[in-house]
Amino acid sequence: MESQHTIGYGLRYMTDLCPPAYLTLCVQCVVGVFLQTILAGIVIAKILRPKKRRQEMRFSRMAVIGPLDEHDKRPTLMIRLADIQEKLFLAESHVRLYMACSKINSRGDRELIGVKDMNVGYDSGWDRVLLLWPIIVRHVINEDSPLYGMSRDNIAKADFELIMTVEGIVEATGMTFQARTSFLPDEILWGYKFKPMVLMNEKLSKYEVHYSLFDQTERVCDFDAQTIETEETEDDHHHNASGFL
């Protein structure tokens, strides 16, 4: 007897004279459904591969340097990040930021001279981001920062590239992915900050994300530091510095 979920056999069919045939058909039906479920899961996993998932990570076109917030005027490098996928959430997502420096050698070729790590909250765990809504990744420019002591003109003439990576796990498939972007010196705005884009809708009494404001920036009038130099106070050690907002 051959069967795959079919119960119509014409003139030849199972009767109560052969109970093992019923048991065999039931087992075969259960195993068949189980195998089809596995096959469907494999197909979905291939469709939702990380290469497609990372395309749904959105980075701001420009990075900005401005005050940390309204009360803390320390200069801070900020980059906006968002996950535009609303159904497939990410787990264990975290960000990294690097500065790749280069120079022109004696032969006239540009060569890489080093990659420096830029703190975005590793020491306090703020590098692990929650991407339920758009966030701003922040790097406070202090004595440990590669940007410390650089002026606006120095940054514009410097030979470096900022590289940001986002890694995470897709909850639906358990696969890991990585998305990357980079910023050149002419893609860094001095004395700006990002406009708020998560705003309260008073009529609906809930927050709404306005993606039309994702790349919008505004100038900070009182940010007039020509050279990036900071002095830490005693309260700075208890204040969230590098991380996300």
Q: Which CATH number is 9's domain given?
A: 1.10.287.70
Q: Is-contact 88 48, C-beta < 8 A?
A: yes
Q: Do residues 175 and 84 share a domain? A: yes
| 64 phi/psi in degrees, rounded to 5 | -130, 150
The pLDDT, as a whole number, for residue 235 is 46
Kindly state whether residue 233 falls inside one of the protein's structural domains: no
Same domain, 154 and 191: yes
Q: Calculate the average pLDDT of the chain.
A: 82
pLDDT at 228: 57
- Tally of domains within the chain: 2
On whether residue 235 sits in a domain, the answer given is: no
In a domain, 92, yes or no: yes
Give residue 104's pLDDT: 85
pLDDT digits (tens, 9 = 90+) for 190-245: 999 999 999 888 888 888 889 999 999 999 887 765 555 554 444 444 344 555 55
Do residue 40 and residue 63 come from a single domain?
Answer: no
Residue 238 located in a structural domain:
no
User: Which CATH number goes with the domain that contains 128?
Assistant: 2.60.40.1400
Q: Is residue 20 predicted with pLDDT exceeding 90?
A: no
Tens of pLDDT, residue by residue over 116-157, are: 999 998 878 788 888 888 999 999 999 999 999 888 888 988
Identify the pLDDT of residue 1: 53
Q: For 208, how many CA atoms within 13 A lie in the half-sphere containing its CB?
A: 9
Amino acid at residue number 83 = D
Domain span at 30: 1-49
Do both 137 and 154 map to the same domain? yes
Question: Do 11 and 76 share a domain, yes or no?
Answer: no
Q: Do 44 and 160 share a domain, yes or no?
A: no
Tell whether the model's pLDDT for residue 95 goes beyond 60: yes
* 78 domain residue, yes or no: yes
For 167-198, how does the pLDDT look when each residue is reduced to its tens digit (9 = 90+)?
A: 988 877 777 888 899 999 999 999 999 999 99
Q: Are residues 32 and 101 in the same domain?
A: no
Check whether residue 42 and residue 74 sit in a common domain: no
User: In this structure, are 11 and 127 located in the same domain?
Assistant: no
Shared-domain flag, residues 72 and 107:
yes
Residue 234: DSSP 8-state: G
> How far, rounded to the nearest angstrom, does the alpha carbon of residue 147 sit from its chain's CA centroid?
23
What's the whole-number mean pLDDT along residues 97-120? 89
| In-domain check, residue 240 | no
Q: Same domain for 1 and 115?
A: no
Same domain membership, residue 122 and residue 30: no
Contact 243, 120 (CB under 8 A): yes
Q: Is residue 225 part of a domain?
A: no
The verdict on residue 227 lying in a domain is no
Distance CA 152, CA 76 (A): 13
